Amino acid sequence: MTGRPKLLSLITGVALLAAGGAAQAQSLDAAVLAAPCANCHGTDGKSSGPIPPLAGRPAIAIAAQMKAFKSETPPPGTTIMNRLAKGYTDEQIETLAKYFSEKK
Amino acid sequence: MSRHMISRRQSLQLIGGAGAGLLSLSMPAIAQQAAGRVVVVGGGFGGATAAKYIKRLNPKIQVTLVEPLQRYYTCPFTNLHFGGLRTFEQQGHNFNELRALGVQVIHALANDVDNKKKTVTLAGGRVLQYDKLVLSPGIDIRWGALKGYDQAAAQLAPHAWQAGPQTTLLKRQLDAMPDGGTFILVAPDNPFRCPPGPYERVSMVAHYFKTKKPKSKILVLDAKENFSKQGLFLDGWKKFYGDMIEWVPLSKDGKVVRVDAKTREVETEFGKKHKASVLNVVPPQKAGFIADRAGVTTPSGWVPVKAQTFESSQVADIYVAGDATVAAPMPKSGFCANAQGKVAAAAIVASLAGQPAPKASWANTCYSLIAPDYGISVAGVYEVQDGKIAEVKGSGGVSPREASAEFRKLEADYGVAWYNAIANDAWGTKA
């Protein structure tokens, strides 16, 4: 308990930043969740090849597409994304969709 | 109470410094603490990616990458070179983008690690001090583990399981082989780098033979009973190459126990001898030697890691990514090395800022090409369950056994697109 005043002052110091900082903390988790997507869709989802880019697309569109991939009747032409999308909860899909929608 | 306070402090530090690189102006004290020295050993999929992503997450961290080669060649996609579909140079990557990001790139061999003094010694004697060390050393061959297969033997019967002179040696031997010859590939028991690799290699050699040397034969002598994407490979071999490829599993005396590289002859467990025109031995493997020097390997030869961070289970502040690790059910693939490098990078950035690691998540995709326009894949998504890496239930798996020609063509095209994307992600290479 001897360290408590110091801890409290630290808490006071960073608490001011909490509102903006919380978003950053979440974004590090989101960045890790999104990290493997880059291996096909490009760094930050900025693909220049035949695999579609994700960066800057509306979150609602990315999430809808992921949920369609995840379903037992994925859209015609679906290959690997059915198997990958099934690895993510709907909540994680929303996180990924928001993450890539904010990449410009 | 004090435990509660600590966890509260940690959570507030997480809030304060998680985006240390981004928030540094608004919170100088914590951001300054976040800076540190990271040394990354190995410039492949795991190491190059880790170096890049540490810099991206916090540019204030000093990152040094140690890699002997000025131009790094990936093992993935060299099989297409054997098929005559790509040049060797197409698998080469430089470190210009990493330098532009502020990574200090040193082209030298890391010879030793002192995990107490936290130093890396390079060939030539230079010593680098680290706060955090990333090892992504790939594999070394277990010379002598297969009787008769040593470094001299590999000059006659290449493994070509590390891209470079071994790759070009095997290609030259295939080019020089007369039509009607026999190509033998000796496949190892698990675990080894790139589980579908031997079978993609055989596919691509078969494609080359079909187009240039159609009377030739291929024999795969396997120390295993099953292999990655087995059904899809066997179907594809039959479809494109008829009876050109014969695969001999462990139970049919497929396990090679002795190699005579001079005569290109191998002997199996029950004494059967096979003579090759071109002999490709994929031998038993272990983590790259620097992992031994750092004290992170077990007698298995591989590196156990903490699932959440890919920090060594044995030595603090040493993180290991890629083929060197024990990360099952994740395979030893370039994709996984990259994904692990990113998890390690984020964990290091958080730790240097005094914060807990972010929640880990990984995926894998491995494409294999059986013939031009005929690709197959395996995929997986992974998370931490009860402190261990586990595949997310219901995710992943291989391409369907029944699929249209269009489906196979798409997976062939996506394989190339994957390679271009991951090479760009790791090294900044433009396709």
Residue B263 pLDDT > 70: yes
CA distance B27 to chain A (A): 8
Query: A86-95, B20-29, B218-227, B291-300: which range is least confident on average?
Result: B20-29
Of A28, A39, A86, the CB nearest to B338: A39
CA distance B98 to chain A (A): 14
The count of other CB atoms within 10 Å of the CB of residue B400 is 13
Tell which residue, A79, A73, A78, has the closest CA to residue B376: A79
- Could you give the residue ranges of the DSSP H alpha helices within chain A? 4-15, 18-34, 38-41, 59-70, 81-85, 90-101
Over residues B84-107, the mean pLDDT reads 98
Tell which residue, B55, B380, B348, B361, has the closest CA to residue A30: B361
d(CA B82, CA B61): 41
d(CA B130, CA B40): 9
pLDDT of residue A48: 85
Over residues A59-80, the mean pLDDT reads 97
Residues of chain B contacting A16 with CB distance shorter than 8 Å: none
Q: ω into residue B372 within 30 of 0, thus cis?
A: no
- Pairing type for strands B217-222 and B182-187 reads parallel
pLDDT, tens digit, 9 for 90 and up, residues B374-411? 999 999 999 999 999 999 999 999 999 999 999 999 99
pLDDT of residue B415: 98
Residue A2 pLDDT > 50: no
Find the angle CA(B204)-CA(B207)-CA(B210) to the nearest 5 degrees.
150
d(CA B327, CA B336): 9
Residues of chain B contacting A5 with CB distance shorter than 8 Å: none
pLDDT of residue A24: 57
pLDDT of residue A26: 62
pLDDT of residue B165: 98
Residues of chain B contacting A3 with CB distance shorter than 8 Å: 2, 5
pLDDT of residue A25: 58
d(CA B325, CA B291): 10
Q: Which two tokens stand for residue B358?
A: 């972010």
What percentage of residues in chain B have a pLDDT greater than 90? 91
pLDDT of residue A9: 40
Residue B307 pLDDT > 50: yes
CA distance A94 to chain B (A): 15
- Residue of B34 and B185 predicted with greater confidence: B185
Whole-Å CA distances, A45 to A37, A39, B84, B367, B418: 7, 9, 31, 20, 13
**What mean pLDDT, rounded, does chain A reach?**
83
Beta bridge mates, B352: none
Q: Which two tokens stand for residue B14?
A: 């997480």
Residue with tokens 């974004």: A27
pLDDT, tens digit, 9 for 90 and up, residues B74-86? 999 999 999 999 9
pLDDT of residue A104: 86
Is residue B334 within 8 Å of B365, Cβ to Cβ?
A: no
